[in-house]
Amino acid sequence: MLTETRLGLWWVLLVLAISGCASVVTQVTVLDPAQKFAPTQNVAIVTEFPARPHVKVALIEAQGTVGGSEGELLEEARKKAQALGADAIVRVEINTVYQEPVRVYDPWYGDPFYWQPHYAQRPFYFYPHGYGPYPYYPYRWIGGGNVQTLKAMAIRYL
């Protein structure tokens, strides 16, 4: 009984940890907080402001991760617009920024059982003198890439 409870607790913690990793960060700025609309079922994605009369509801800014697509950003903006009661979102602009690769400290990346104060007891031909730092180097590179940011306007037809 106790082990089943612990196993269930570990599964809950694992699911919470995985669900906490978001790939798109979205910020919504409501233009007029006095306007309240019921949530809508369908939100269209358009590239230009329509000719028919409409009201601008909110500005939605979605930022993806390295290697993310514009489709992910549009879908996240669509979900936020549905909650606001918008009928469509207008793609205003999309920015692309290159992020450089980053070096991070990760002691488990190399040999975690190699105790570093033993450097002085090793022969001269071993690291750091004889060969590169790969096997016992606690730093690794996290690859960079392009990060896209979408700016869209949520609108509601009159």
pLDDT on residue 106: 74
Rounded Cα distance between 122 and 134, Å, is 17
117 domain residue, yes or no:
no
Q: How many other C-beta atoms are found inside a 10 Å radius of the C-beta of residue 58?
A: 24
Q: How far apart are CA 61 and CA 81, in angstroms?
A: 11
Please report the pLDDT score of residue 139 as a whole number. Answer: 73
Q: Is residue 2 in some structural domain?
A: no
Report the CATH number at residue 35.
3.30.110
Region 17-22: mean pLDDT is 55
pLDDT digits (tens, 9 = 90+) for 34-88: 988 999 999 999 999 999 999 999 999 999 998 889 999 999 999 999 999 999 9
- Give the pLDDT score at 73: 94
Six-digit token pair at 13?
Answer: 């913690």
- 59, β-bridge pairs: 29, 153
Number of domains in the chain: 1
- Average pLDDT, stretch 99-103? 87
What is the band of 157 on the pLDDT scale with cuts at 50, 70, 90?
A: very high
- The predicted pLDDT at position 39 comes to 93
pLDDT of 156 over the 80 cut:
yes
Range of the domain at 71: 22-101+143-157
Is residue 109 in a domain? no
Is position 81 within any domain?
A: yes
Tens digits of residue pLDDT in 124-154: 545 555 444 545 566 777 888 999 999 999 9
Q: What is the average per-residue pLDDT within 11-34? A: 75
Q: Please indicate, yes or no, if residue 8 is contained in any of the structural domains.
A: no
Domain annotation covers residue 129: no
Calpha distance 66→19 (Å, rounded): 19
Which residues touch 86 (CB under 8 Å, ≥6 apart)?
37, 40, 43, 57, 58, 154, 155, 156
Q: Could you tell me if residue 68 is inside a domain?
A: yes
DSSP for 37-106, please give it.
Answer: ----S--EEESS--SS-EEEEEEEEEE--TT--HHHHHHHHHHHHHHHT-SEEEEEEEEEEEEPPEEEE-
68's CB contacts (< 8 A; 6+ apart) are: 23, 24, 147, 148
In a domain, 153, yes or no: yes
Answer for the pair 41, 86: CB distance below 8 angstroms, yes or no: no
